[in-house]
C-alpha cells in the first residue's frame, strides 16, 4: 500500500520568492491512483498582476478582488498537507514561497522534474505538460494551480509505474546508493521495490512505458555491425553515374515516388551534380547554397554512392552535434528507404561524449558522495540498458555540476589504457566501439570540433580518410579558433 502524498502547485506574480506573491494554491491529497481530497483557492496579492502573468494563467485582477489574503490561506493549507510528503514539479520553487512564511518547513518533498530525468530518458523536454503528453495524458489546462497539481499526481503515478518496471537488482542498487547520501528519491525507489516484490501493478501500462523507453535508441538499418571489418579502398576507383544520381531527385524520380508531397528543387539537383563530379575528379569544391535548397541530400547521395562503390570512407563534418543527429536520425533513414544500396554510416564524437564503463563501475563500487552525483548515477543506470552507443548527449544533464560529473564518468583519455582495460577487451567500451564502427563505415558524421581535434593530434582521432565534406563551412574559422586555442588566467599562471 502506497503512503499518502500531497501534490502541490502555486501560481505566483513572478519567480522571486522574496518579492513576488502567491495568487493561487492548488493541492491534491492522494494514495496511489485514489484522490482523497483537493484544496484550491485564489489569493489576493494586494497588487495588480503583471500582464505576462495574466496572459500565462488567465487570472485577472477582477478574479482576485474578493479572494482571501495569504494570511488566511496558509493555516488552511498547512492543515490540509499535515506532515505528508509534498510532491511537485520543480517543487523547490513552490516551497520557497511557502517557507518564506514558515509554512511546510519540516515536510519532506519529492521533485517530479528530477524523477522524470531518471525515469524518462526518452523525453525531449521535461516541462510538466511535455512529460504528461509523452506519458499519454496531455493536460487540458495548464498554469492553473489545481489542474497542474492534478497533472503532477498523474505524472508521479506514471513515473512510479516506470520504476516498477525496472529490474529488482537496479532498484536495490538505487536504494543502497541513495541511503548513503540521504537522496530525496530513496524512499520512492524503496517503495517501488516493495511493490515490485509483491507483484503489484502487474499488467498495467508500466510494462508498455518501459518498452517505450528503448524505442528512441533503436538501431537504424544502416548502423554498422560490430563484426563489420574496416574498409579497404579499391585500388581502381569507380566513378559515379552523375546523371543516374541526379535522376533520383528529378520530377518523377525515386524520391518523388517514395515521399508524397516531394518538392523538386533544380538547385538541389545542380548541387548534387557538382558534388558527384568533384568526387569523380578528386578536386575541391566550394558551394554556397541558401536555405531551402536541400543541401544535405545533395551531398549525402553522392557521398554514400562513392563510399559503397569504392569501399572508401567519406567524412561529413557539421558545425553542431544537433545537425549530426539530424543527419543520422532523419536524413539517412529517408535515404535508406530510397537507395538500393547496402551502405553503412556512423556518428563519431569526442571521447567526452561516451560513457566509460570502467569509470562507471568505480563509482558504483565506491558509491556517490552527494545528491548531484546520485542524480547523475541514477540517470545513467536507468538509461544504460537502453543505450546502444553510450552517448551521453541523450541524457538530461541541465546543470554545470551535472555536466562535470558526467565528464568524470566519460571516456576522456586521462589515464585510459585500452590494453589493460577488461571492458575494451570484452568489446564493451563505447568509445572504441564507435571508433570501430567508423572504421567500417562508408559515411562518418563528425562535428567541426572533432575534425579539428583530429588535425591537432596528427590524425589520430579519426580513421584514415581521403574525402571530406564540410557542411556549414562558414563556421569553420570560428570553430578552429575555439577548438585550437588555449585559455588561461592570472590565477592559473600563479
Domain at 472, CATH number: 3.40.50
Tell me which of 122, 156, 190 is where a domain ends. 156
- Asked whether residue 196 is domain-assigned, the answer is no
Domain at 131, CATH number: 3.30.420.10
Same domain membership, residue 149 and residue 51 = yes
Tell me which of 108, 137, 156 is where a domain ends. 156
- Asked whether residue 268 is domain-assigned, the answer is no
% pLDDT > 90, the chain:
75
Same domain membership, residue 222 and residue 87 = no
- Asked whether residue 133 is domain-assigned, the answer is yes
DSSP string covering 56-105: HH---HHHHTTSPBHHHHHHHHHHHHTTPEEEETTHHHHHHHHHTTT-S-
Q: What is the CB-side half-sphere exposure of residue 156 using CA atoms within 13 A? A: 34
Q: Express each pLDDT in 400-451 by its tens digit.
A: 999 999 999 999 867 788 888 999 888 889 999 999 999 999 999 999 989 9
Q: Can you give the residue range of the structural domain that contains 124?
A: 4-156
pLDDT of residue 291: 87
> 64 or 455: which carries more pLDDT confidence?
64
- Asked whether residue 246 is domain-assigned, the answer is no
- Asked whether residue 127 is domain-assigned, the answer is yes
Same domain membership, residue 134 and residue 20 = yes
Same domain membership, residue 223 and residue 147 = no
Q: Is the pLDDT of residue 492 over 80?
A: no
Q: Give the number of domains in the chain.
A: 2
Q: Express each pLDDT in 301-336 by its tens digit.
A: 999 999 999 999 999 999 988 899 899 999 999 999
Same domain membership, residue 455 and residue 327 = yes
- Asked whether residue 494 is domain-assigned, the answer is yes
pLDDT of residue 142: 84
Q: Is the pLDDT of residue 209 over 70?
A: no
Same domain membership, residue 363 and residue 222 = yes
pLDDT of residue 201: 47
14, 93 contact by CB (below 8 A): no
CA pair distance 440, 295, nearest whole angstrom: 25
Same domain membership, residue 218 and residue 147 = no
Q: Is the pLDDT of residue 181 over 70?
A: yes
DSSP conformation class of 135: T
CA pair distance 41, 27, nearest whole angstrom: 10
Q: Express each pLDDT in 94-153 by its tens digit.
A: 999 999 999 998 999 999 999 999 999 989 899 999 999 999 998 878 899 999 999 999
Same domain membership, residue 491 and residue 353 = yes
Same domain membership, residue 126 and residue 25 = yes
Q: Express each pLDDT in 77-92 by its tens digit.
A: 999 999 999 999 999 9
Tell me which of 139, 156, 173 is where a domain ends. 156
Place 2 in a pLDDT band, splitting at 50, 70 and 90.
Answer: confident
Same domain membership, residue 223 and residue 78 = no
Q: Is the pLDDT of residue 218 over 60?
A: no
Same domain membership, residue 370 and residue 437 = yes
Place 481 in a pLDDT band, splitting at 50, 70 and 90.
Answer: confident
> 234 or 244: which carries more pLDDT confidence?
244
Same domain membership, residue 227 and residue 146 = no
Catalytic residue positions? 143
- Asked whether residue 420 is domain-assigned, the answer is yes
- Asked whether residue 263 is domain-assigned, the answer is no
Average pLDDT (25-32) is: 98
Average confidence score pLDDT of the chain: 90
Helix, strand, or coil (residue 280) = helix
Amino acid at each position: 500500500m502506497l503512503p499518502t502524498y500531497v501534490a502541490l502547485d502555486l501560481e505566483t506574480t513572478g519567480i522571486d520568492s522574496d518579492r513576488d506573491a502567491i495568487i493561487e494554491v492548488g493541492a491534491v491529497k492522494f494514495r496511489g491512483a485514489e484522490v482523497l481530497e483537493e484544496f484550491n483557492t485564489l489569493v489576493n496579492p494586494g497588487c495588480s498582476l503583471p500582464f505576462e502573468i495574466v496572459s500565462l494563467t488567465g487570472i485577472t485582477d477582477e478574479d482576485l478582488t474578493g479572494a482571501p489574503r495569504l494570511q488566511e490561506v496558509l493555516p488552511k493549507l498547512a492543515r490540509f498537507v499535515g506532515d505528508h510528503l509534498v510532491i511537485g514539479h520543480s517543487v523547490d520553487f513552490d516551497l520557497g514561497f511557502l517557507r518564506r512564511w514558515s509554512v511546510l518547513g519540516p515536510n519532506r518533498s519529492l521533485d517530479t522534474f528530477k524523477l522524470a530525468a531518471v525515469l524518462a530518458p526518452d523525453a525531449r523536454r521535461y516541462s510538466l505538460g511535455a512529460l504528461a503528453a509523452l506519458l499519454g495524458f496531455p493536460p487540458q489546462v495548464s498554469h492553473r494551480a489545481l489542474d497542474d497539481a492534478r497533472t503532477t499526481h498523474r505524472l508521479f503515478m506514471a513515473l512510479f509505474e516506470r520504476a516498477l518496471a525496472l529490474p529488482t537488482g537496479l532498484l536495490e542498487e538505487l536504494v543502497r546508493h541513495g541511503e548513503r547520501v540521504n537522496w530525496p528519491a530513496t524512499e520512492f525507489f524503496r517503495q517501488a521495490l516493495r511493490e515490485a516484490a509483491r507483484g503489484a501493478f502487474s499488467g498495467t501500462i508500466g510494462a508498455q512505458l518501459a518498452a517505450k523507453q528503448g524505442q528512441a535508441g533503436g538501431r537504424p538499418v544502416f548502423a554498422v555491425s560490430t563484426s563489420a571489418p574496416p574498409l579497404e579502398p579499391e585500388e581502381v576507383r569507380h566513378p559515379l553515374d552523375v546523371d543516374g544520381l541526379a535522376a533520383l531527385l528529378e520530377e518523377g524520380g525515386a524520391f518523388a515516388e517514395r515521399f508524397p508531397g516531394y518538392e523538386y528543387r533544380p538547385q538541389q539537383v545542380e548541387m548534387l551534380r557538382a558534388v558527384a563530379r568533384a568526387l569523380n575528379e578528386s578536386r575541391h569544391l566550394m558551394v554556397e547554397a541558401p536555405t531551402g535548397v536541400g543541401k544535405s541530400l545533395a551531398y549525402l547521395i553522392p557521398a554514400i554512392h562513392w563510399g559503397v562503390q569504392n569501399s572508401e570512407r567519406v567524412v561529413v563534418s557539421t558545425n553542431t552535434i544537433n545537425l549530426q543527429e539530424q543527419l543520422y536520425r532523419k536524413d539517412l533513414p529517408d535515404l535508406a528507404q530510397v537507395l538500393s544500396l547496402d551502405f553503412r554510416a556512423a556518428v563519431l564524437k569526442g571521447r567526452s561524449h561516451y560513457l566509460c564503463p570502467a569509470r562507471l563501475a568505480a563509482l558504483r563500487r565506491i558509491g556517490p558522495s552527494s545528491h548531484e552525483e546520485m542524480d547523475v548515477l541514477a540517470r545513467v543506470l536507468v538509461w544504460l540498458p537502453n543505450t546502444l552507443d553510450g552517448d551521453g548527449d541523450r541524457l538530461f544533464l541541465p546543470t554545470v555540476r551535472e555536466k562535470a560529473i558526467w565528464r568524470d564518468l566519460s571516456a576522456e583519455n586521462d589515464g585510459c589504457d585500452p590494453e589493460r582495460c577488461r571492458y575494451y577487451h570484452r568489446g564493451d567500451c563505447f568509445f572504441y566501439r564507435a571508433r570501430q564502427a567508423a572504421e567500417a563505415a562508408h559515411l562518418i558524421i563528425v562535428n567541426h570540433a572533432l575534425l579539428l581535434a583530429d588535425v591537432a593530434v596528427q590524425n589520430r582521432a579519426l580513421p584514415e580518410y581521403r574525402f571530406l565534406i564540410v557542411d556549414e563551412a562558414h563556421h569553420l574559422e570560428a570553430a578552429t579558433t575555439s577548438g585550437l586555442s588555449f585559455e588561461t588566467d592570472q590565477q592559473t599562471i600563479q
